[in-house]
Amino acid sequence: MRVILAESAGFCYGVRRAVEQARKTARACGRCWMLGDLIHNTYVVEELKSLGVQKAESIDALQLGDTAVIRSHGELKQVLDQLEAKGVRCVDATCPNVRRIQTLASKAEAEGRTPVIIGDASHPEVAGIASWCQHPLIFSGPEAVEAWLREDPGARETPVTVVAQTTCIREFFETSWKIIKKECTNAEKFDTICTATHKRQSEAAILAAKADVMVVVGDRKSANTKHLTEICKESCSRVLQIENADELPPDFFSGCSVAGLTAGASTPAGIIKEVYAAMSEEIRAVENNEESFEELLNQSFKTLNTGEKVTGIVTAITPTEVQVDVGAKQAAYIKFSELSDDPSAKPEDVVKVGDEIETYIVRVNDVEGYAELSKKRLDAVKVWENIEQAVEEKTVMEGTVTEENKGGIVVSVKGVRVFVPASQSGQPRGADLSAMKGQKVQLRVTEVNRARRRVVGSIRSVSDEARRAAQEEIWANIEVGKRYTGTVKSMTSYGVFVDIGGVDGMVHISELSWSRIKTPSEVCKVGDTMEVYVISFDPEKRKISLGVKDHNVDPWQVFMDKYAVGDVASVRVVKLMTFGAFAEVVPGVDGLIHISQIADRRIEKPEDVLAENQMVDAKITAVDEERKKISLSIRALLAPSVEEPMEDAADVEE
């Protein structure tokens, strides 16, 4: 018997963020408020109370100067307005995904569309979303949608925008959308089901299909926990929803070989660990009770058979072997060559007298009364079992790239060769895979054939999943002005694309440098690390505009602090015109060298003497502070005694 814990059980990002913000606020303020339950979990709410986050059932309890932490499900708009009017400071712990739905619904109504919310009308998240609209429609599922279309003949002509509660069961949402899309002439959809919720529900369904019993942990008020229980019941006949380990019935696991465990998004890790431990103890107790007296008696007279596993105690380590007591009449031993895969390993480094050791029986000689054992062979069998289990449970494994092979690479995972096709290596098409040799990588095993000793894996599935998680993290926390350290991924004539952690943003050429540049390659190249900040972003179109230039620095002020009229500056020619040349004095500030001031003789055109990007010394002859114009002269340095009228840069426009 074994207990399998779902990978995504427990706190989602939004809940974790809300709890952390509440704890942080309590530490900073000493005392603050939450309106109702911050999240749907009694134990967490009680913990927050102990830290000073008091629970208020209505805003009447709050006064001017108080601090309120807005729960992860969001709050009614009118309540937020009342809090602001009372002078209550609000710390918004609303899940970013919920905030996005509020914005989408409000925007849809402003555009003359009717917001349609698929979800539980009594849930605080749905009530909060609806409060940001004047006339929203809320449906629990496809049956309610069909009833609406039957009862309201004009509904089919109404332009609607369809969104979903973040914890909505996907099947309900997709079926509801199919009906609306078919019947309504002007409908649009936004898939707002939280990706973490969908992943948790999918994992629960898969786990329930192969488990004899399923345990779902979460508060009884939690909608997503309730949905998890409903999903598990579709595939498993024995499903139990509990709030803590104390609610586990002692005989629930009788007769089961696989017990599944998952938890709602508001369930703390500590409670999950307690339930997991309690389930393991219950299963061990059931296993012990099911052992008959006859089985125990047989174990005391153990018979050894070639090819079986056997557990014993190391009794001695001699110069040639390790002696093991396996509870049988025969003496048992392990040759050093059968102890470990590592030929340089010393026996005392592998086992010690008194250690319990599991081995494989290689040969039994009843005549001479001994049994030959092998730890190495059993270890190899266990590795293959682990590999096969990893396929079933989609476990992420770690290995080292040992070689480039035809069509891909080979990764050593616990001594087993895993072939990773080039398409699953996570590298761009045509990349030099030999550069990966020696790297540690994470992968999922996708195919195992033990008879042919063939194992196939995918690095890409793990990296893609990590990238999606990183993208969700970026979009959940992005804000104007936020700074990131990114990597230049690609370049165009008009700017560069920078990866800021799984998401690419665009830095326009005008934002790359204060200096005039014609192409981005003048200041950066692909692979460069770049410090950027967010100028603007569009979550719906998934576009981000980034900047590099520090707008807190005024180039004109830098010039004024460094130079004065009469000073000589080393300038760079940036543009040639018919009437003269513009030259960069400091990054972001150009001055004009009129054609009459380029040489000590008359010239037909500036390019007869100057070239773009040429560095020259020029004298600052005039500064127009109001219009931020600078006049420069090369001639003044060549023939300073010649007094001729000079053109003023203020009178010449580029």
The CA radius of gyration of the chain, in Å to the nearest whole number, is 36
Question: What is the Cα–Cα distance from 368 to 226, expressed in whole angstroms?
Answer: 64
Question: What is the Cα–Cα distance from 585 to 559, expressed in whole angstroms?
Answer: 8
Q: How many CB atoms lie within 10 A of CB 394?
A: 14
Residue 314, sorted as left (phi over 0), alpha (psi -120 to 50) or beta, turns out to be beta
Determine how β-strand 504-508 pairs with β-strand 543-547: parallel
Question: What is the Cα–Cα distance from 585 to 560, expressed in whole angstroms?
Answer: 11
Report helix, strand or coil for 228: helix
Helix, strand, coil percent values for the chain (each to nearest 5):
35, 30, 35
What the block records as the tokens of 81 is 């307005």
Nearest to 188 by CA among 128, 132, 116: 116
Annotated catalytic residue, options 75, 125, 243, 372 = 125
Nearest to 570 by CA among 553, 586, 557, 550: 586
Question: What is the Cα–Cα distance from 456 to 450, expressed in whole angstroms?
Answer: 11
Confirm whether 174 is a catalytic residue: no
Residue type for position 44: V
Spacing of C-alpha 279 from chain mean position = 30
DSSP state for residue 428 in the 8-state scheme: P
Helical (H) or strand (E) element with 537: strand 529-538
Catalytic residues: 125
